[in-house]
A and B are shown apart, each in its own frame.
Chain A
Amino acid sequence: AQTVTQSQPEMSVQEAETVTLSCTYDTSESDYYLFWYKQPPSRQMILVIRQEAYKQQNATENRFSVNFQKAAKSFSLKISDSQLGDAAMYFCAYRGDTLIQGAQKLVFGQGTRLTINP
């Protein structure tokens, strides 16, 4: 079974600085997909970034980038130029087994609560 571990329950960073959130996972698959979701106090889970395991290039979306280390099974999220609106719970997720008819299970880490200090 696949597992996802986020070892940092809470992190804080000064506004405009850079912060890195850690995520490790365990799988025996060679092709898989990893995600970072953000859940602000408004509650909605918002997709931040997606990485395909067969791609060596790290995914980037504006101020958000990942450091994907396949051999180490590590998938960290870097947020540059942190903004107050980045404050949220961040979940790392692994797209796992097919449940039924193409629908696939998301395995979530326990989450990291990020605080931005003005």
Chain B
Amino acid sequence: DTEVTQTPKHLVMGMTNKKSLKCEQHMGHRAMYWYKQKAKKPPELMFVYSYEKLSINESVPSRFSPECPNSSLLNLHLHALQPEDSALYLCASSQANAEPTDTQYFGPGTRLTVL
């Protein structure tokens, strides 16, 4: 099973709202990633948790806040977003063991629209 699930599939929010995106995997992977993807562009890494330790892309604004309650769950908290934050947000997971077979598997994404 290589399934990563994400909820919600679509989200529309105003600039003053607070919302959260959720991601879950049951593959026993120890690393989970958040990516932002604009139309016709490759995904850009925002955050990664591995063994509950966080690595941040320094260019990501503070209105995005990741949380990893346990190794199977990953949240992305959103607050005071801007219209340019509208994008597809992808979650991925990997074993984080540096083996040849260590591969990132992606969820279906959440389409976020900020009004």
Answer yes or no: are A and B bound together in one complex.
yes
| Chain A residues close to B by CB (< 8 Å) | 33, 35, 37, 42-47, 50, 52, 89, 91, 95, 98-106, 108-111, 113
A103 with B41: CB separation less than 8 A: no
B98 with A104: CB separation less than 8 A: yes
**Given A99-B48, A102-B50, A43-B31 contact (CB < 8 Å):** no
Q: How large, as a class, is the contact surface on chain B?
A: 35 or more
Q: Which residues of A contact B103 (CB under 8 A)?
A: 35, 47, 50
A102 with B108: CB separation less than 8 A: no
Closest 8 CB pairs of A and B: A108-B42, A102-B96, A103-B31, A103-B50, A101-B50, A45-B106, A100-B55, A44-B108
Q: How far is the CA of A97 from the CA of B98 in the complex (A)?
A: 10
A111 with B42: CB separation less than 8 A: yes
**Given A101-B50, A102-B30, A42-B108 contact (CB < 8 Å):** yes
| Chain B residues close to A by CB (< 8 Å) | 2, 30-31, 33, 40-43, 45, 48-51, 53-55, 88, 90, 92, 94-98, 100-109, 111
Q: Which residues of B contact A42 (CB under 8 A)?
A: 108
Mostly helix, strand, loop or mixed at chain B's interface? loop
Beta-carbon nearest neighbor of B44 in chain A: A108
B100 with A100: CB separation less than 8 A: no
B43 with A102: CB separation less than 8 A: no
B96 with A101: CB separation less than 8 A: yes
B94 to chain A, nearest CB (A): 7
Partner of B55, one of A103, A106, A109, A110: A103
A105 with B45: CB separation less than 8 A: yes
